[in-house]
Chains A and B, each alone.
Chain A
Amino acid sequence: MTGLILENVEKHYGTACAVRDVNLHLPEGKLVCFLGPSGCGKTTLLRMIAGLESLSGGEIRLDGEDIGHTPAHLRNFGMVFQSLALFPHMTVGENIAYPLKLRGVGKAEQQARVVELLELIQLQAMIDRPVAKLSGGQRQRVAIARAIAARPKILLLDEPLSALDAKLRESMQVEIRQLQQRLNITTILVTHDQREAMTMADIVVVLGEHRVQQVGTPIEIYRHPANEFVADFIGSGNIFPATTLGNGRVGLPGGDTLEVPASHSVIVGEKIKLLVRPEDLQLSSPQATAGNRLLGKVTFVRDIGATVETTVECSGVSFTALNTPCQGMDLGIGQAVSVTIPAQACRLLSA
């Protein structure tokens, strides 16, 4: 079986567990994103794949070969560190040529590859600059060029963009994604920024509490979170308790009922959690409760220019709705308002 396979991978530090029972199959040529809050074990997992941390248990196989205990320098993976770790005692060109030099590549070939990579990252003129003279974005690109110089089997990126300012980060996300697709190199990206994961990933692996919570495409993760952890971590959401009533209906704490997608096979009377994304809620002038339309009262309005977030309390639950200003109704605190919750926007999560 080709690609990178992790089987029952574990990492313990004494009695503390950093990574628990991870099973993953990372297909070739894809960009996989390890996404999770800080301290969830995502970086540890990446470092185990790189060979910088030993395995406490389980196996890592690459194209069928067990590499779990191969030293880092023999794995032929490229890695970009959070700090980038460009060697300050080398020029840009020397940094990129370093992995080639280690592999005994001839001088001329080294030079050709360095020029090729600098063209790729559009820094041809910088070849003899010391790295200290580069801007943040330029360093970023040099670090990637160095990581891929020796044509590694896998490229590992450990929160490489976290040091950049927001604007540069967004453009680098696109740039890296394009580069990855052009080179068709299997890539693992570790990040805690879900927007970054959504932008770049083919597959997102959500990690939380030291284990894998869900694996899927960004849209799957967003639309069909497997559990409350994922639902809460990915995007903002209205998550509230409900009770199943059968026939595709659930009851809210305030007594109102909602229609939900019937496909969910659930036991009647079960306590569950319901997820509704704020952008799916529709606000309208107060009308009588009917179907999935509930009557509530505005408790907070946050107008941040591009979007307006309105918090409405109804049926014992606090909902936040997200609208563009032109959809807005110019609501004030304390005003009555109707909230429509489309049935297809509701996701049932096991509590």
Chain B
Amino acid sequence: MGEHDLNRRQFIKTASVVSVAAAAMSVPFISARASDTRFVGKTLRLLTWSDDTGLAALRNIAATFEAKTGAKVIADRTGSTSEMVAKLKAGGDRPQYDIITLAGVGAEGLAAAGLLEKPDLNRIPNLVDVPAQYRTGAGGHGIGYLLWCNSLVYSTRTLKQAPDSYAALWDAELAPNIFLPPPNWTEAMDLIIIAAKLAGGDEHNIEPGFKKLAELKDRVMTLGENPNQIAELFRTGSLDMGGLYAPAFFPKQIRDPAYGLGATFGMKEGFYTDLMLSVMPKNRPGDTDLAYAFIDHSLDPLVQGKMAEDIFNGPVNAKAIISSEARKSPYILTPEQIADKAIMHDNAFLATVHDQWIRRYTEIFSS
């Protein structure tokens, strides 16, 4: 992993590996049920990310699925969503995978190219516990399986308490030096909408947002492409605040007091999330029942809870089981917090403005 591909997910380092290694290697937390023997000896081919989210999916979803069903999961991991899209497109009508987990944009691209099968929601019993807006994405071609959640990141040395509004980013006295997400990330799109809302507009009246963002230009040190660099800038006291940015990018540094790094989801405006999807390509090589069973397993309340604790992302299952220990952490999101504050952007709408917004955002912050 990790030559020069700079997809955001790549920078999530192996922070959580230590804490979960024991769980992964010892007896899986879901014990095998004797009733499920119809998948024994069958094989499921999975394509997921090569970063920690992907690794966590292997530990918490694939490994427990194997234990439960006796099926074998062969996982292929790749650096970025666009690589996954390219891989599947290269396969044409002979795909190599039964399930792919990827970001919404990628799923939309594949669906548009006619490469995806629309799953039958009735064959995924756990979906009943998933709130409607997280059930499907990409026009019904993808099944939601986790929420990528963005926070405001701040220096615990400069700020005595966590900011409770995005307006804090515009407070030059509170936070003289800030960072923002890079233009091509969905986080930047969300930030533009936040700015518009703060300036009295919204996503359909976006101009005030760009004007408001332009005010930040002189205080923006960098558009943080590389989470480790951002953490380093906080450690050396060069940055005071920034966002939108997922704490999942630097869990290790957040746990290390030397970095003085804090993150909060507690903004009164709410926090933005991006739905990550499981998709099923047409003409899959493997068993269809097995693929449905796998997707259903990924939504299991226990699995959902473990994933959330492991990689600081939000569960989609409203009944996800988060341990009382984990509930104390400000970075581990509970289903209640998600139900209360999570804002999901409209991918279909964003797709129509994405290109223009990237340009405007790039132009505003070009040095």
Q: Do chains A and B touch in the complex (CB under 8 A)?
A: no
B residues neighboring A (CB under 8 Å): none
A residues neighboring B (CB under 8 Å): none
